[in-house]
Structure 1
């Protein structure tokens, strides 16, 4: 079971799996979570490792590879400890103490510059650069970092939102003091899906009557929508031409077939209800904004909503040469925004380049020296697993990892807790001077998730 788990660590560390992972779609990425999601696994224990990577990616945006690597190293240490006839319960107890010690020392390291806006913005820029340094588009990391930091800092003051849809034909292209009804109702046809049924018509006149009856039903539905006193109607589904014509006559702007994710975000920032029935207009909360208009951004027509109620809207428009480049850019923007948003919520920051891991490993090793018996061996194995993270960084960069880690441990023993690995020069250096910073929350969650996942795996008796 443990050997199966090492498979993912090895793939993450030694292979850049770019190319056709899907027979119908070309995927070019070095996003570790994306790679893991494309690998078919049957072992439920291995699926747990994939799941913690996905949770880390979705919640924090970074550290998805670190959490899998640390969990894998802990499982490797488990194999060695079991070979020494150490009981599983002793391993679990020892690692629980080691985890607490690592988190305690980590709590004492972070600095918080949130009270100084300029310094905090500089820290956010450094965190964004660190996050984007391992991505395919890293040559654009300065520009993308600035975009993400500006978006995060402006989000509570920015009141503009772009919707990637188009306004209906012959509709007003600009509405001031918009009252917006957001709905998910069928406005294309009212046909019922009934199998094995047919309609027999023996004259053109009856065909016209059938069409008129259908239009009358659509007219009644439009009248019900107008009872909401809205001047903008945004629908998740299609809107037929006849309904658009009726709305245009009343001066109501319509937007159809709205993207599902954008649809939900729009309802959230407008503080509006999503309507699925038209029977209770008095109970529905309409969205409001100062202005809705159609704008052109690099030849693309978009809908701009200005002065939204919540005041927490911001849009980044990406353009690229190919769809693969756009997909990868969207993933890395997601990573940076997630990391930055968590940093704004928890503004404490740590040193990157393996500095935090060596600091925690040193504290855990000191705890092991104070502990007697088999538990001391277990705690030291946890410290060894933590030291493997910077060791792997040095190995992947092609440097002598043993020499670099030895120099790094010496620097930390001399009280230089901000020292980490500078992989551009292959030396140890001050992470503050290099601007290599990472969120405290990220480091904390990596240690907690990896330790708890391995503890859960060790508690298993069998797989059914």
Structure 2
């Protein structure tokens, strides 16, 4: 065992992270030689440490000349709640990080975690498909106007369905305004007037509850997610419209009640 510890020292490192238990004698040996020993690191944690510090995970210590050491500015133990954690800061590569969420209760923490997860999912999809569209209801207003123009060329009752689709698109900017606590009817009317005047980049500025230029404000959305959202909503509406009738089954009799 001490031979293996000496091989670790030959790597010229000052921090050693191990996935398994480090016994007292090796730990004291590392401490005497100025090496911090961290034990019981989980596999995902070791992979993340290697990613952010620029090092490589090794399973043997026979070739110190080929090992790649990671680097960071500071390592410290922090306490979050009742948990003790090891924090690596000032990492060389910085390709990964840990986000600590705090909240007054479990419900707020769950909501914050869901919101963060949704934001990261959008970010990852946008990184894969870099095409974006203007947000703030601008894209929906443009699509609604295009569908309205199409409805004028459709004959018969089908034109009513096309107009309904345009109205559904205009409801999305209203939902954005409602969620921000503003008067959705007033803002949607202003948005329609702006697009009718040729201001095709206008959308809802939820910072102050007005109409603004989404391109100047930098409000964009992922084109891929926007397309998927519209396709999913359209498919759901079509599925409901295909339902001709509903057959209600007789409730199953309970065993504790007489027939």
Which of residues 159, 181, 191 in structure 2 aligns to 1:408? 191
How far did 1:255 drift? 1.5
1:229 and 2:11 aligned? yes
Distance 1:323 1:257 in 2: 30
Residue in 2 aligned with 1:446? 226
Q: TM-score, normalised by structure 1?
A: 0.38
Higher helix share: 1
- Residue equivalent to 2:31: 248
Partners in 1 of 2:160 and 2:10 — Cα distance?
70
CA contact (8 A) 1:365 1:380 kept: yes
The secondary structure found in structure 2 opposite 1:257 is coil
Q: Is the 8 A contact 2:204 2:211 kept in 1?
A: yes
By relative contact order (CA 8 Å, sep 6+), the higher-ranking structure is: 1
1:294 paired to 2:75: yes
Q: Which residue of 2 aligns with 1:388?
A: 171
Over 3 Å counting, the alpha-carbon distance change for 1:368 and 1:387 in structure 2 is: same
Closer, same or farther in 2 for the Cα pair 1:224/1:363, shift >3 Å? farther
* Alignment gaps of 5+ in structure 2: 243-259
Q: Deviations over 1:39-79 (max 9, x none)?
A: xxxxxxxxxxxxxxxxxxxxxxxxxxxxxxxxxxxxxxxxx
Name the CA distance, whole Å, in 1 between partners of 2:203 and 2:117: 26
Give, in whole Å, the separation in 1 of the partners of 2:157 and 2:224.
Answer: 27
Aligned mate of 1:263, from 31, 41, 46: 46
1:458–1:222 Cα change, 3 Å: farther
Alignment CA distance shift 1:404-1:247 (3 Å): closer
> Are 2:140 and 1:357 equivalent residues in the alignment?
yes
Q: SS of 2:70's equivalent?
A: strand
Count matched residues.
235
Q: Given the alignment, which residue of 412, 415, 420 partners 2:203? A: 420
SS at match of 1:258: coil
Q: Structure 1: give runs of 5+ residues left out of the alignment.
A: 1-218
Return the offset for 1:302. 4.9
